[in-house]
Amino acid sequence: MIHRNFYDNWMKIIKCNKKELRKGKIEEEEAVRIPLTSIKINPVLLNSLFGIIYPKFINDQQNIVDIIISDDEELLEKIVLYETEEPGIHKSYKILENDILKLKKYPLKETTAFFIKLQEEIFKKHRIRVSHMRVFKKKAIEILNLYIKNIEQTSLEDSLSNIFSIIEKIIRNQLFFIYPKTNIITFFEELIQISDHNLLSHAFKFIKQILPPFNYAFLIRSGKSSFILRIENKEKNSSESKLDLQIFPAESFNIDLSGTNESDLLKSLYIQLRVDFIFLFELNHILTLLSNIFELQHPIALDKIKLFLQKFLFGLRSYETYWFKYPKPLSYNPILRYFLRLFGFIFDLKKLSHWEIPEFLFSLFYNRLGLKNRILIIFTNLMQHKNIDLDKLENPIEIGFSKAILIETENRKLTKIIPISNKVNEIKNLGLKGVRRKLMENYGYIDLALSIDLSLISKLLHNFIMSFNNFNIISKVKTIKKLKKQHYFNVYPKKPEFLYLKKTGTISLIKKILPIFIDKHIF
């Protein structure tokens, strides 16, 4: 029923898990694909990652049952029982008889009763107590098969974009569920309510589009199984790039994870991997951060996003406490910091005001845009038009329009994201003011219309998030200057904060903002 491409790969994974290869030698094993993706991975590493991630996000108990049912929920098409000694590690399976339960007597809609009865029957016949069930409708398998058919030939970007789209389709149409329900499924169910369709896939494509070129490696340290992620976003041409991801078990490199200090460890890997920068993170920190994201509920409370941002910024500032980077950025050099201080710039990134920055930004947002608002965001891509003198451009939206969304919030909650690219595309010649005016005829008052160029977002992402601690002051200042240019960033109506950004000199602006964003003391 499931496509050969998935089945064969899955069998290899089960086979490897069965052999308990953790005791064996890692390099000798043939790589498998991470299920439903085109990413290749060592099966032993996959085994241990399953052992860590599955219990954390899906279910931390043993034994699973997979059920395929007809689309009308009248028939049990296939039941597969996985006996898992360790939660999440699928070692063996049994195909059970389809008549183990009568759906007419125990309809799937009454999920709890169905599951309890199923548990009883399986225990009676196989002496195995299942902890949870994963239910697929036949239609879900068909959708997955279509996607898996060409998975070997699909690029990483397409593969990830497709899988996001499939996840959304399956969840939106209730073609798959897990019982007992998990946080991760609830999160996706609630998240996709924000928009009418293809939110996840569009979000992924958007992130890919704004991602600057980079070549980084990440050593993810975990007590059980450390591994290395090498991610490269290679620039194909000025407007396109190709994403590449490789996963290696840490043991496959000539390093000693337990003995050496972090700097030597990263240096050794840096030489072997030939990347721009290498980072060290702890797996449990990443999993905690992901857990926080999966706990978000619809409508997403902006206060929770604020809290998440505070945690994220706390993580950023905790360099050499919670994470490491090699080569070490110059920003942490005390002589340079002292030199900057002489000129009135406080640039101590270890005192980044993680608690204040989100608080400050959100209070500005609520004050100016209120507790119920509608915001139009227009994204432009002016990099496609290199021959045009952008400074003389009157309506950047007309030539550079890329996409547009309308965001609605109510009482500090994100309630709706409406994609309106097609509508805006028809009226893009009207400019930001005109587009807002036209849209207000249908949607009512729009509190803020904003146009921003993707190249600017990419620069902001690069200079203030990805390389936030690099001592690339000139590049950072250039990005702020770009922010002041109307064709890259514009808002209507002109809010005081926007006017302030435009009217204040870059150096003066930095001097005003840095004391808010950097603390005087470590709190």
Partner 1 sequence: MNQETRLKPRVAIVKSESPEKALSEGLEKIGGISEFIQEGDTIFIKITLRFASGFPSFSNLNLVKKLISLCKKANPKKIYVGSFLNEKITIQLIDEIFQFKEYFKILGAEFVFLDNSYFNNEKFNKSGNLKDLKNQSQKVININDSSIEIPKMILEADKFINLNQVNVSPLNQCTLSLENQFSILPKKYREIHYTDDNKKDIVKNDKYQEELSKRIIDAYLIKKPILTINDLFYILEGAGPYIYKDSNLKTSKFLLVGTDSIAVDTITLMLMNLNTSDNRMIVEAVNRGIGPKLLSDIEILGETLEDNIFEINLCKTKLSNIRIQNIHTFSGDMCSGCFLKAYHLLNIFKTYLIKDLKYLRENNLLIGINPSDISPEAPIILFGDCAIETTRDYAFRKITKKTLIRKKEKEVTNKNILELPGCPPNLWDCFLHLKDFFGKGDMPNLNYFISLYKKTGFLNSKEELKNWEEIE
The binder of partner 1 chosen from 19, 368, 423, 478 (CB under 8 A): 368
How many CB atoms neighbour CB 220 within 10 A?
19
The binder of partner 1 chosen from 447, 471, 472, 485 (CB under 8 A): 447
Binding mask 474-493 for partner 1 (x = CB under 8 A): ------------------xx
Rounded to 10 degrees, the C-alpha dihedral 429/432/436/437 comes to -70
CA distance linking residue 371 with residue 362, whole number of Å: 11
In the bound state with partner 1, the residue whose beta carbon lies nearer, of 408 and 453, is 408
The binder of partner 1 chosen from 75, 223, 496, 507 (CB under 8 A): 496
Residue carrying the six token digits 């002292």? 338
Segment interacting with partner 1 (CB under 8 A) among 113-121, 142-150, 286-294, 508-516: 508-516
In the bound state with partner 1, the residue whose beta carbon lies nearer, of 178 and 513, is 513
495 binds partner 1 (CB under 8 A): yes
Question: What's the one-letter identity of residue 149?
Answer: K
Closest CA to 265 of 278, 252, 274, 276: 278
Give the DSSP H or E segment for 245. strand 240-249
Closest CA to 456 of 396, 516, 511, 496: 396
CA distance linking residue 510 with residue 507, whole number of Å: 5
Where in 56-112 does DSSP place strands (E)?
Answer: 64-69, 76-83, 92-96
72 binds partner 1 (CB under 8 A): no
In the bound state with partner 1, the residue whose beta carbon lies nearer, of 174 and 363, is 363
CA distance linking residue 448 with residue 430, whole number of Å: 16
Site size toward partner 1, by CB under 8 A: 39
CA distance linking residue 33 with residue 51, whole number of Å: 17
Report the residue count for the chain: 523
341 binds partner 1 (CB under 8 A): no
Segment interacting with partner 1 (CB under 8 A) among 16-24, 173-181, 351-359, 477-485: 351-359
Residues between 372 and 401 with contacts to partner 1, criterion CB under 8 A: 372-373
The binder of partner 1 chosen from 184, 301, 440, 466 (CB under 8 A): 440
Q: At what angle do helices 156-172 and 183-191 cross, to 10 degrees?
A: 90
Strand partners, 65: 81, 133
Smallest distance, Å, CB 346 to partner 1?
Answer: 10
Segment interacting with partner 1 (CB under 8 A) among 33-41, 268-276, 318-326, 410-418: 410-418
Q: What is the DSSP letter of 126?
A: H
Segment interacting with partner 1 (CB under 8 A) among 75-83, 237-245, 439-447, 456-464: 439-447
In the bound state with partner 1, the residue whose beta carbon lies nearer, of 334 and 505, is 505
In the bound state with partner 1, the residue whose beta carbon lies nearer, of 202 and 436, is 436
The binder of partner 1 chosen from 126, 205, 242, 437 (CB under 8 A): 437
Question: What's the one-letter identity of residue 446?
Answer: I
Question: What's the one-letter identity of residue 38?
Answer: S
Q: At what angle do helices 199-210 and 183-191 cross, to 10 degrees?
A: 90
Segment interacting with partner 1 (CB under 8 A) among 47-55, 85-93, 324-332, 498-506: 498-506
The binder of partner 1 chosen from 214, 410, 415, 421 (CB under 8 A): 410
Question: What's the one-letter identity of residue 332?
Answer: Y
CA distance linking residue 448 with residue 19, whole number of Å: 60
The binder of partner 1 chosen from 92, 288, 333, 411 (CB under 8 A): 411
Segment interacting with partner 1 (CB under 8 A) among 31-39, 51-59, 280-288, 440-448: 440-448
The binder of partner 1 chosen from 31, 370, 465, 475 (CB under 8 A): 370
CA distance linking residue 28 with residue 345, whole number of Å: 54
CA distance linking residue 62 with residue 467, whole number of Å: 42
List interacting residues with partner 1 (CB under 8 A): 353, 356, 359-360, 363, 366-373, 410-412, 437, 440-441, 444-445, 447, 492-497, 499-500, 503-504, 512-513, 515-516, 519-520, 523
